[in-house]
Amino acid sequence: MKVLVIGGGGREHALCWKLKQSPLLSELHCTPGNAGIAQIAQCHGGDAVEVARKIGADFVVVGPDAALAEGVVDRLKAQGIPAFGPTQNAARLESSKVFCKELLRKYGIPTADFETFEDAEMARAYLSDRDDETPVVVKADGLAVGKGVVIARGRKEAVAAVDEVLGVARATMPDAEERIVVEEFLEGEEVSLIALTDGETVVPLAPAQDHKRVGEGDTGPNTGGMGCYSPVPSFTPELHEIAVETMLKPTVEALKNEGIEYRGALYAGLILTRGGLKVIEFNARFGDPEAQVILPRLQSDLLPLLLACAGASDTPLSQTPCEWTPDATLCVAMAAAGYPGEVRRGDTIIGLDEAESGGALVFHAGTAQRDGVCVTSGGRVLGVTALGRDFLQARERCYHAVEQIRFEGAHYRRDIGWRTLNAEGGARSAE
């Protein structure tokens, strides 16, 4: 089977790495790809649908949220090419926070209380009239690469946050509506739970915990994710069942009731509050960097699962194997100078072979080849992942690999998994 993966980040490198192991695969292609993906797949430039047609792809796996929001799955289906990922209408679950929040409210799926506003002026007026200093969360309606969210600690911060989140959203999707969501601030431990679905069956994958803030101790601005790990000890089997039965399955059913068939990855961002487990948001694809720790734990062949979700398999999703290793995984994102702001590009990366020779997996995100040399080309440059018999061993191996890699201005968090470290008897330095 000839498979095309759309995207060029760490998530797509992890997808390509896992798909490459499938005995069903005859050729692996990617568009646009990156320097790491180019080592295991044929990379192409140009329009993704045209690439799929040109190479005669049998199946397409869509990675990025923006491609889903722009309707690439619909375009592929119009060409008779089966694809993994929700249609443009279904992808509104991520591309429109207003749509998502209103769906959750309508069907009684636990989430933060919220208000929505059709434009920035209405949101600023609402926030200016607030007479308390209770923290609120301000979100742009559209996609913002994980950065269109601000936790405002007071009225002035909240008003300023409206312009901040809209600025990020405009840079990501200039034509998106400028709607705003203001919701209550929820305190608690977060977890990412991604499931695969064919619109009927929901198959949960291994949970992961992401670290969104750029700075150690969860400080500084939001990013696309500075690292994560799996499994998550605090996310007990009981909580897992609650999430699947009261959040994931009801959301798929709610969409069906609205006339929307949701096929693909359903990514629930969850938080355990004093009032119980709640949905922060839903995404319509694999997480990044969650994919980098989840897929290495998957013992089953990934391709049959994706085919079943898309309705492109004779075996239904409910009967497709999905088995896991008990090993733990930890991923650390190595970022370029300036990230999550304006970043420098073109710095030479060294030490990749040394990191991988020790057993680590190095998933490329913002990399390119220049005169035969691997260089930086984006904000999050690499996702260094390691497995271990337990969390501590995975963490030790991961940070050892990170220390082998060097490029000018590289920075990364040294406390990935700090909550689990604290729970197990105190954090130990990774330096």
Q: What is the pLDDT of residue 142?
A: 78
Burial of 33 (0-12, 13-18, 19+ CB in 10 A): buried
Q: How confident is the model at residue 28 (pLDDT cuts 50, 70, 90)?
A: very high
Q: What is the pLDDT of residue 171?
A: 64
Domains, the chain, in order of start with CATH, read: 2-88 (3.40.50.20), 113-184 (3.30.1490.20), 189-423 (3.30.470.20)
Residue-wise pLDDT tens digits, 374-395 = 999 999 999 999 999 999 999 9
Following DSSP, what letter does each residue of 291-348 receive, concatenated?
HHHHGGGB-S-HHHHHHHHTT-SSS-GGGS---B-S-EEEEEEEE-TTTTSS-----B
Give the sign of the dihedral formed by CA 371, CA 376, CA 377, CA 381: positive
Q: What is the pLDDT of residue 174?
A: 60
Percentage of the residues of the chain whose pLDDT score is greater than 70: 94
Q: What is the pLDDT of residue 131?
A: 63
Residue-wise pLDDT tens digits, 217-260 = 999 988 999 999 999 999 999 999 999 999 999 999 999 999 99
From the centroid of its chain, how far is CA 170? 20
Residues facing 62 on adjacent strands = 6
The structure tokens listed for 342 are: 């304006």
- Cβ–Cβ < 8 Å for 222, 213: yes
Region 276-305: mean pLDDT is 97
- Is the pLDDT at 24 greater than 80? The verdict is yes
Region 335-346: mean pLDDT is 94
Q: What is the pLDDT of residue 130?
A: 74
Instruction: Read off the DSSP letter of residue 38.
Output: G
- Is the pLDDT at 216 greater than 60? The verdict is yes
- Cβ–Cβ < 8 Å for 46, 55: no
Instruction: Read off the DSSP letter of residue 14.
Output: H
Q: How confident is the model at residue 172 (pLDDT cuts 50, 70, 90)?
A: low
- Is the pLDDT at 203 greater than 70? The verdict is yes
Task: Lowest mean pLDDT of 46-55, 156-165, 235-244, 420-429, name the range.
Answer: 420-429
Residue-wise pLDDT tens digits, 125-171 = 888 877 667 888 988 887 765 567 888 888 888 888 888 887 766 66
Q: What is the pLDDT of residue 173?
A: 59
Q: What is the pLDDT of residue 431?
A: 31
- Is the pLDDT at 17 greater than 90? The verdict is yes
